[in-house]
Structure 1
Amino acid sequence: MSDTRNDYRILVAEHALGLLENIVRTRSIPGVIEWRKLEELIREARSLLMSIKYSFLPPRMLAEHEAVRKLQDLSKEISKILLPWDKLRTISLDKKAKMSIARAKYAIRILYGLPYRLVLGDENDPLYAVDIECVKILSVARHPNADKLYVTRAKGVLTYTIVTNIEGVKRDEIRAAAILPPVELRGEISEAMYCSDVINDPSCVGKRPKRELIDWKEVEKIIYEIVRG
């Protein structure tokens, strides 16, 4: 029996669902959105997540559980309604809306990817709680409002804006990035955090790097902050 009540993967998924609940409650993404339908889907997702949390199944076994698969399907439905990209691209977005969209993208990814993180291992490792992937840096620019920060774009599974203080960070470098709750850093939204030195392996882009390549201390610190609320 596993203590799924305290598994970091499930606790971070709870936090992600809370972000979605807040977005729906505040109606903070513009456009014509079926908010009532979203409320129903998120209530169902909350119920499923509670059954997952109190399943006490080993994580690898839990990954195949019907509730986990249903949660994954629900996350896809939520994404279609909450993030209609064809319409959002035509709307002028303020900072609040942009942050809500970034949070929704992160939260939906956390819920959708839960089964993939559960199969990483039965041990309760905080690094399993979020996606960590190798990314290739596409561009680097100085932060407009901070001399010691850089705004980068990086491509892994998706393309991310990552604000970093890594001195000398360069285009075409490959680094590990932890996909974390988005934060605003001096006016720029950052969707992830670099968590490795340069990785000399182009084949790893979009894949989870080996643990020994990850600078895990800062990632763990953020995971602990998330689960403490």
Structure 2
Amino acid sequence: MWDTSKDYRLMVAVKAVDLFRRALEAGGFRGQWKKKPAIQAASEIERALQSLIYSYLEPEDLAASPEMIGIDEKLKEIVDALGGEDWSRKFLDEASRDERERVEENIAKVKFFLNTIGNLRGRLMLGKIADPVIAVDIVAGEVMSVGGHPSADKLQICNVNVGGRSLKVVTNDPDVRENDRVAVALLPPQNFMGVVSEGMFLGADGVLRDVEGNPGEMPRGIPLEALNETRNLVEDFLAG
């Protein structure tokens, strides 16, 4: 019997719902979208997740459960309520210069929620894994550009291709270069002095820069020690 009450995937998913609701309340999102239906659908996702947490089903059975089917349907309703597939661009277009930083941060939180819930089934299909790193997606990526942080000399801002979309990652590793093949943990976004990072590069003594795997797919051959900081940050997210 699998102890679903201690499954990191489900615990982080519940926290992601709360992060999503708070992002909508504080987001400063303008334009034509439907806040109330989006929050209502998120609450229904949360109820389904709570049911799964106390189900004690095997991970593969969780993935195939009626609750997961309902969660996927509610996620589609949320995207529609936000304004469709290009919802984030619309919110950015409507934001004033003074609002832009806050709007970007809350958009990143919404994206974290959508990704965490949207890919929950795939992570459950990986089976019985009692490790915090299983709670978030870890994907291979390719660094498309690297630039300096406007307010911190020791930080770099990287745009990373993770398969059909790009992520912004802030790093303190000065050796990261364009075209590096990296591994990215899609963690709750962090604001580094006005620049929002949507993930973290894996690494132990510096960022891994020759990672195997196509952008957007699970990377291969990652050393265990490169996952330690991801474990810590997932635990911190749950504790917060």
TM-score, with normalisation over the residues of structure 2? 0.88
Which deviates more from structure 2 when the two are superposed, residues 85-94 or residues 147-156?
A: 85-94
Tell me the distance in 2 between the aligned counterparts of 1:28 and 1:181.
19
Tell me the distance in 2 between the aligned counterparts of 1:152 and 1:160.
8
> Any stretches of 5+ residues in structure 1 without a counterpart?
none
Tell me the distance in 2 between the aligned counterparts of 1:33 and 1:148.
39
Once the two structures are superposed, residues 44-66 of structure 1 have per-residue CA deviations (whole angstroms, 9 ceiling, x without a partner) of 11211111111111112211111
CA RMSD between the two structures: 1.7
> Any stretches of 5+ residues in structure 2 without a counterpart?
none
Aligned residues: 228
Correspondence for 2:200 among 193, 207, 223? 193
In structure 2, the partner of 1:5 is: 5
Which deviates more from structure 2 when the two are superposed, residues 14-23 or residues 71-80?
A: 71-80
The question of whether the paired residues in 2 share the 8 Å contact of 1:161 and 1:192 is answered with: yes
Once the two structures are superposed, residues 181-222 of structure 1 have per-residue CA deviations (whole angstroms, 9 ceiling, x without a partner) of 111101111001000311253x43211113634611100000
Tell me the distance in 1 between the aligned counterparts of 2:26 and 2:228.
34
Tell me the distance in 1 between the aligned counterparts of 2:194 and 2:76.
30
Instruction: Mark the CA change 1:58 to 1:198 in structure 2 (over 3 Å): closer, same or farther.
Output: same
Tell me the distance in 2 between the aligned counterparts of 1:222 and 1:162.
15
In structure 1, the partner of 2:234 is: 223
Q: Secondary structure at the match of 1:147?
A: strand
Correspondence for 1:130 among 121, 128, 136? 136
1:140 aligns with 2:167: no
Shift of 1:21: 1.8
In structure 2, the partner of 1:162 is: 169
The question of whether the paired residues in 2 share the 8 Å contact of 1:76 and 1:112 is answered with: no
Correspondence for 2:218 among 188, 208, 219? 208
The question of whether the paired residues in 2 share the 8 Å contact of 1:175 and 1:194 is answered with: yes
Instruction: Mark the CA change 1:184 to 1:89 in structure 2 (over 3 Å): closer, same or farther.
Output: closer
Tell me the distance in 1 between the aligned counterparts of 2:231 and 2:24.
29
- For 1:188, the aligned partner's letter is V
The question of whether the paired residues in 2 share the 8 Å contact of 1:23 and 1:29 is answered with: no
Shift of 1:124: 1.4
1:172 aligns with 2:211: no
Q: Secondary structure at the match of 1:88?
A: helix
Tell me the distance in 1 between the aligned counterparts of 2:5 and 2:221.
25
Superposition map of 1:1-229 within 5 A: 1-26=1-26, 28-82=28-82, 84-85=87-88, 87-93=90-96, 94=99, 95-157=101-163, 158-196=165-203, 197-201=208-212, 203-210=213-220, 212-213=222-223, 215-229=226-240
Structure 1 segments (4+ residues) deviating >4 Å: none
The percentage of counterpart residues that share the same residue type is 28
The question of whether the paired residues in 1 share the 8 Å contact of 2:34 and 2:81 is answered with: yes
